[in-house]
Amino acid sequence: MENAFYRHLIDSSMEDSIKFWRTLQGNEIDFVLNSREAYEVKADIHQFKKSKYSVFGQMYPDIPVAIVTLDKKFDMVDDTPVYDICEI
């Protein structure tokens, strides 16, 4: 699913602004765009645990994290916005 979202971002002419974030300890965010928005891709949105992304939030408090999925059933999970791949 990450590849599908990456392809969508490339098709949206965002290729130069696509980054990812990872620490040596294994914390990661799938996509960071223009240093303004972060996306974690999840096939099952119930696998998203906001606490897993607290390190990113502490380091980059001005970059909001959102969930991207193919099966959007909720607008929010754990106080985090949820988007369908095509909504980005």
| CATH number of the domain within which 23 lies | 3.40.1350
At 64-79, the pLDDT tens digits run 999 999 989 999 999 9
40/2 Cα distance (integer angstroms): 9
At 2-56, the pLDDT tens digits run 999 999 999 887 778 899 999 999 999 999 999 999 999 999 988 998 989 999 9
Structural domain that includes position 41? 2-87
Nearest CA to 52 out of 71, 69, 37, 65 is that of: 65
